[in-house]
Amino acid sequence: MEAVALEGRGSMEILRIEDLQMHFGGLRALDGVSIDVAEGEIAAIIGPNGAGKTTVFNCISKFYKPTGGKVFFKGRDITPLPPHKVAALGIARTFQNLEIFPGMTALENILTGAHRAIGTGVFSGFLLGKNSRQEKRAKERALDMLDFLGIASAEEKIASGLPYGFRKLLEIARALLSGPSLLLLDEPAAGMNEREKAEVAKIIMDIRDELGVTVLLVEHDMNLVMQVARRITVLDYGKVIASGSPEEIRSHPRVIEAYLGAEEGRPDVS
Amino acid sequence: MLMQQVVSGLALGSVYALVALGFIIIYKATDVLNFAQGDMMMFGAYVNYALLVSGVLPVPLVILATLVSGVILGFLIERAIVRPMLGKPLFATVLVTMGVGICLRAVAGTIWGHQYKAVPEILSITPINLAFGLVISPFHLTIIIVSLGLVALLSLFFNFTRLGTAMRAVARHQLAAFLMGIRVRRIFSINWMISGLIGALGGMLIGPLTFLSPDLGFIGLNAFPAAIIGGFGSVPGAVVGGLILGVSENIAGGYLPEGVKNVFPWTVLIVVLMIRPEGFFGLYEEKKV
Amino acid sequence: MEAKKRKRRQDEEQEISKVWLLLVFAFVLTLPLYSNSYVMHIACVTGFGIIVSLGLNVLMGYTGQVSLGHAAFLAVGAYTSAILTYKVKMTFWLALPLSGAMAAFVGLVVAIPSLRLKELYLAIATMGYAFIINEVIVYWKELTNGTKGMIAPTVSFLGIELNTGHKYYYLVYAVVSLLTYFAYNLSQSKTGRAMMAVRDSEEAAQSVSISLVKYKIIAFTISAFYTGIAGSLYAHFIMVISPENFNIMLSIQYLVMLVVGGMGHLWGAVLGAIFVSLLPEGIRLSVRYLPSWLDIIDLQLFMYGLIIILFLVFEPEGVYARWLKVKRYVKAFPLSPRKQKGERIWRRWR
């Protein structure tokens, strides 16, 4: 399945990363990375292990303070903002190491995604608890989201007891419930078998098609990436070595060279 | 008079340093904060007292016996109570040590009662004259020498012996150490035994400085600030922290209003943590996302 | 299909919970009718413990911030109430919320420098705050009378003096009920979830725009508020307060309540408070069967220590968590909890 190019969507840049530098002491995790993502597209960042892919995400969502460079979201410079403010602007993400909330039920996990949307404060928390109108509405949306991703049966189960696949979806559900314009998916297909990966691909495209969310993913699985992404940026040792459509990347000499020897990364799949 | 206070402060500081050291040794290897450290010290102080008062053994043997009791106590605590907690959440293990401390206090109270006791002096009380007109009691001097000596010994041990290196490895990265063939559990035991020894030593040294009571362990709590100010990971840190604290507490006691002296260590701690949340030599790894 | 079954089950569970709640309420309401003053006394003390435990649970159980110094907030509440009613001659009914507010303020002040501290350091820093606050109370003699103690006058309600255990009990448990209701609501609300998110994963919490600073501060404030209220109630109960009432052992006691009962669970906090409050009585009753050289104070102390150890070794998540696990297992019986029908990964409902 080829990626469906979305015509007619605004070609406005929703995310622009300009010359991003991230140094840890002497280690240059990112050395002048520039990427843009257009609104409504599905884009991907790939590269061998340690190339800096997740670091890019961490710089966007501000868990790392970039050593240099800027990040623009919808034209606005978000580089100086703290993580929770970045999220509030409409960027949601999932995590490579699965950061769900193990102590809460699946439903509660997702409801935290609606944090920004629910306007109640501490006092209405005390007085009304889950009975406020906003809470009820948020719960509806959360239940819908659980359905949308097919994990409705997990509703009241404690998240730490759920199977791995459920938890991954839970993270995505939580991210989606915050109503983001941009979704950063960090290795969504990690640890999955072929059937599950196909489901993930479908979900990613549904997210873009039905929810109108721009998706940027970091991924190792070339199949998946080729399937869903319209534009791919390849990183190696913290630098961008190629950027373009799946066909261009597939046959790009430097990309092949970077992946040579890495079994999973061979980009010669159909 | 300032210098004199510094000198006496060093003695107090050395005791703090010892207790802090006891904490840190266990913490470095096992990530466990031993809340019972102060109470282990208290127990050592009582054993020391009991042996001295009963006159059964000559003084040098009393010292030896007390140290041995400390080692045994450390061993027992680790074996019976801490080891079953392996794999449990860290916080739980820390709380367990609190429980142990409480039990120790109760046992001490039952055996020896709650009356304040004075430990018999085993050194002469005539002050020794140092340079510049400063005096120091032989006992304070002993404390300083013993504590610093112990620290030096431990530094040598950690850095130059095989066992010491193994312990440092375990402190750095338990799993890696395990995979390298180091018997991690045995190292834990040894850590606790060393801390027990240090506790008993601290007890012997602090006993004569103040009156003995089952609540003596609370002074041990005052060593927390020392350990943290020095940064909860290093032997030199503990020493520096302890000495600084002892000295400044003594000086402050002379110049500041009454209540402040008691909470001085804690106030300093909070100020330090506000400026540097990791302590001066501190170590807390960034979580990788 | 599945969804409908689940909804029905949820509704059933709600009904059962309501029945339980009614039973508990009935018990609490009628207890004074067949108890003597001694029992009422214990019940009141338990009530204070429940309030503090609920408050501490908000901080430690929901938000994951350790506090080893909560007795200090109790002291602040108690002294504020005593000073306002005895020196300023304010009515208790105004002093009560103000005591909570004062404690909340102190909680706020204490929280701000503590935001960046990691678990361990936070625990020790809170111990430090408690020591400092205690010393302040001891040495600010003009305000607090220092170690001589302060008087907190009896409370009057609509002209009736609440000077017996029976009468005070109603006051205490009215407050307990209200605060429990609030705590429950909190746990089901956005604020409660945000706190739990902070506890479970600071990174993920931030990724859904939860401000760590804001919610840690809120947690400290609420927790201190609850404890301050308890402090005020406590003060007017024992009528004379002095700094030794609020020592570190008390703080540890509160900690034990959560450990025993179950941190993070509202009913766990309540159960833990009841257990720890009744423990001294249990020991006192069994003293008859023990040798006379065993000092009762030391025995109590030893039991605390032993309980802490035993619970942490065998049941670190507390009684309530064990109860939940049992409940879940029983519900799934005869199906093992994993093999339930319909629990297929990736089944889509379109």
Chain A: nearest CA to C197, how far in angstroms? 6
Confidence grade of residue A267 (pLDDT, cut at 50, 70, 90): low
Residues C250-259 have pLDDT tens digits of 998 999 899 8
The conformation of residue A216, written as its DSSP 8-state character, comes to: E
Residues B236-285 have pLDDT tens digits of 777 888 888 888 877 777 777 766 777 888 888 888 888 877 655 554 44
- Stretch among B4-18, B181-195, C73-87 having the lowest mean pLDDT: B4-18
Most confident of A115-119, A247-251, C54-58, C87-91: C54-58
B165: closest CA among B155, B151, B150? B155
Residues A53-106 have pLDDT tens digits of 888 999 998 888 888 899 999 989 999 999 999 999 999 999 988 899 998 988
Chain B: nearest CA to A64, how far in angstroms? 10
**CB of B259 closer than 8 Å to CB of B211:** no
The residue-averaged pLDDT of C127-142 equals 88
Mutation target for A interface from C1, C54, C189: give the one with most A CBs within 10 A. Answer: C189
Judging contacts by C-beta atoms under 8 Å, the chain B residues touching residue C144 are none
- Give the nearest chain C residue to A88 (CA atoms): C209
Chain B: nearest CA to C295, how far in angstroms? 7
Mutation target for A interface from B285, B287, B289: give the one with most A CBs within 10 A. Answer: B289
The conformation of residue C199, written as its DSSP 8-state character, comes to: H
Confidence grade of residue C139 (pLDDT, cut at 50, 70, 90): confident
Rounded CA gap, A55 and A218, in Å? 10
Residues A27-56 have pLDDT tens digits of 888 888 899 898 889 999 998 887 888 889
Place of tokens 């362990």: B217
Rounded CA gap, C168 and C233, in Å? 9
State residue C174's pLDDT score. Answer: 94
CB-based contact, C299 to chain B, within 8 Å? yes
Most confident of B222-231, C184-193, C288-297, C331-340: C184-193
Give percent above pLDDT 90 in chain C.
Answer: 45
8 Å CB contact of C313 and B262: no
Confidence grade of residue B124 (pLDDT, cut at 50, 70, 90): low
CATH code of A11-90+214-270, in short, is 3.40.50.300
Residues of chain C in Cβ contact (below 8 Å) with chain A: 2-3, 6, 10, 182, 184-194, 196-197, 199-201, 203-212, 218, 222, 264, 342-343, 345-349
Which chains neighbour B (Cβ–Cβ under 8 Å, 3 or more pairs)? A, C
8 Å CB contact of A103 and C206: no
C254 against C334, higher pLDDT = C254
**CB of B166 closer than 8 Å to CB of B187:** yes
8 Å CB contact of B228 and C121: yes
Which chains neighbour C (Cβ–Cβ under 8 Å, 3 or more pairs)? A, B
- Give the nearest chain A residue to B288 (CA atoms): A97
Within chain B, residue ranges assigned H as helices are 2-30, 37-54, 59-77, 90-112, 138-160, 162-172, 174-179, 184-206, 217-229, 235-255, 258-275
Confidence grade of residue B131 (pLDDT, cut at 50, 70, 90): low
8 Å CB contact of A58 and B288: no
Buried b (16+ CB within 10 A) or exposed e, B84-114: ebeeeeebbbbbbbbbbbbbbbbbbbbebee
**CB of A39 closer than 8 Å to CB of A16:** no
User: How far apart, in Å, do the first and last CA atoms of chain B sit?
Assistant: 55
Confidence grade of residue C1 (pLDDT, cut at 50, 70, 90): low
Rounded CA gap, C203 and A175, in Å? 13
**CB of C274 closer than 8 Å to CB of B78:** no
Strand C160-161 to strand C156-157: parallel, antiparallel, or no bridges (unpaired)?
antiparallel
Q: How many CB atoms lie within 10 A of CB C87?
A: 12
CB-based contact, A54 to chain C, within 8 Å? no
Q: Is the pLDDT of residue A10 over 70?
A: no
Rounded CA gap, B4 and B182, in Å? 48
8 Å CB contact of B258 and C139: yes
Rounded CA gap, B165 and B177, in Å? 10
CATH architecture of the domain with residue range B2-158+184-275: Orthogonal Bundle (1.10)
What pTM was computed for the model? Answer: 0.87
Confidence grade of residue C349 (pLDDT, cut at 50, 70, 90): very low
Peptide bond into C113 cis (omega under 30): no
**CB of C209 closer than 8 Å to CB of A178:** yes
Residue A22 tokens, joined: 């991230």
State residue A261's pLDDT score. Answer: 46
**Nearest CB to B274 within list C113, C120, C301:** C113
8 Å CB contact of B259 and C136: yes
Distance of CA C130 to the CA centre of its chain: 17
Confidence grade of residue A7 (pLDDT, cut at 50, 70, 90): very low
Q: Is the pLDDT of residue B89 over 50?
A: yes
Burial of C334: CB neighbours in 10 Å, binned 0-12, 13-18, 19+: exposed
Judging contacts by C-beta atoms under 8 Å, the chain B residues touching residue A95 are 289
Residues B196-233 have pLDDT tens digits of 999 898 888 887 777 888 888 887 788 888 777 776 66
Please count the residue pairs, one from chain B and one from chain C, whose beta carbons lie less than 8 angstroms apart: 125
Q: Is the pLDDT of residue B2 over 80?
A: no
Residue A166 tokens, joined: 């459920």
State residue C94's pLDDT score. Answer: 92
State residue B133's pLDDT score. Answer: 67
* Residue-range domain boundaries for chain C: 1-33, 35-274
Q: How many CB atoms lie within 10 A of CB A141?
A: 18
Within chain C, residue ranges assigned H as helices are 2-30, 37-56, 71-82, 92-111, 119-139, 141-144, 165-187, 190-200, 202-207, 212-238, 248-261, 266-286, 296-314, 318-332
Here the ipTM equals 0.85
